[in-house]
Amino acid sequence: MSKKERASQVFDILQECYPDAKIALNFEDKFQLLVAVVLSAQCTDERVNMVTPKLFEVYPSIEAFAGAKQEDLEKLIYSTGFFRNKAKNIIGAAKKIVEDFEGEVPGTMEQLLTIPGVARKTANVILSSGFGKNEGVTVDTHVIRISGLLGFVPKKLSKSKNAVKIEQELMKLFPRDRWGKLSHLLIFHGRQKCIARRPKCEECRLNELCPSAFKAQR
């Protein structure tokens, strides 16, 4: 079986296991999605979802965020960590979108990368979950770890945690229409079965397709 054939089977099985896999962040529009993703850096989705209801009540529009005082915003997002930089980027993003994109979050990778606080990972999430566009694969810690365990990327690359190169490998391995969903499936699997310190290999339906499971059983 080729790597692509195995990858296809893994995807199909994960989709059966997690049919409702999707972004865990709560949002009602594309700018709220952008804010939530910025806040999620080095922070759990659960914590972000605890912070955003009050945040979006105080700042109900992109214009409200653009006019926010940084110190006021910092107080509301303090518990998400790196709050000063996040507040600066959120306000900067709001101003950029209001001034350059008529108050609408842009829908291309090129445009998104001009916005403060938005790197390729954030842009991938916005395009996939906000616009339904597959421009790349969102690579987070779960995706890095599990794609390595499954042998989808070379061992040395997996250990390097180079998200850009790992994304390139995954984009070559999976068809474009699966890029967006792939991240959610690997994240769900990482949270529910392939847990970093206590993987449930004996319960995992990927046992026969996972090189790491074979190694563990020898």
Would you say residue 217 has pLDDT above 60?
no
CB 187 within 8 A of CB 142: yes
Q: State which of 79, 108, 131 marks the end of a domain.
A: 131
- Of 57-66, 86-95, 183-192, 204-213, minimum mean pLDDT range: 204-213
Residues 143 and 62 in one domain: no
Mean of all residue pLDDT scores within the chain: 94
Average pLDDT over residues 187-216: 88
Single out the residue of 186, 136, 185 nearest to residue 163, CA to CA.
136
**Residue 176 CA neighbour count, 13 Å, CB half:** 4
Per-residue model confidence as pLDDT tens digits over 139-162: 999 999 999 999 999 888 888 889
Residues noted as catalytic: 121, 140
DSSP per-residue letters across 119-150 = -HHHHHHIIIIIH---SS----HHHHHHHHHT
Q: CATH number of the domain at 62, please.
A: 1.10.340.30
pLDDT, tens digit (0-9, with 9 covering 90-100), for 23-80: 999 999 999 999 999 999 999 999 999 999 999 999 999 999 999 999 999 999 999 9
* Residue 119 to residue 213: CA distance in whole angstroms: 34
Task: State the DSSP H helix or E strand holding residue 175, giving kind and residue range, or none if neither.
Answer: none
Could you tell me if 161 and 210 lie in one domain? yes
For the chain, the domain total comes to 2
Q: Whole domain around residue 205: which residue ranges?
A: 3-21+137-217
Give the pTM.
0.91
pLDDT at 214: 59
CA 62, CA 93: separation in Å to the nearest integer? 9
CATH code, 180: 1.10.1670.10
Within this chain, do residues 165 and 191 fall inside the same structural domain, yes or no? yes
Mean pLDDT score, 101-121 = 97
* Interaxial angle between packed helices 83-100 and 30-39, expressed in degrees from 0 to 180 and rounded to the nearest 10: 160
Please determine, for residue 218, whether its predicted confidence score (pLDDT) is greater than 60: no
How high is the pLDDT of residue 155?
Answer: 85
Instruction: Decide if pLDDT at 203 tops 60.
Output: yes
The domain boundary, picked from 79, 96, 131, lies at 131
User: Residue 87: its pLDDT value, please?
Assistant: 98
Contacts of residue 2, defined as CB under 8 A and 6 or more positions apart, other chains included, come to none
User: Residue 65 in contact with residue 90, Cβ under 8 Å?
Assistant: yes
Tell me: pLDDT of 215 over 70. Answer: no
Task: Kindly list the distances between the CA atom of residue 145 and the CA atoms of 76, 88, 91, 116, 127, in Å, as whole numbers in the listed order.
Answer: 32, 31, 33, 28, 23
36 and 104 inside one domain: yes
Q: Which tokens belong to 85?
A: 């930089």
The sign one gets for the Cα dihedral 103, 107, 112, 118 is: positive
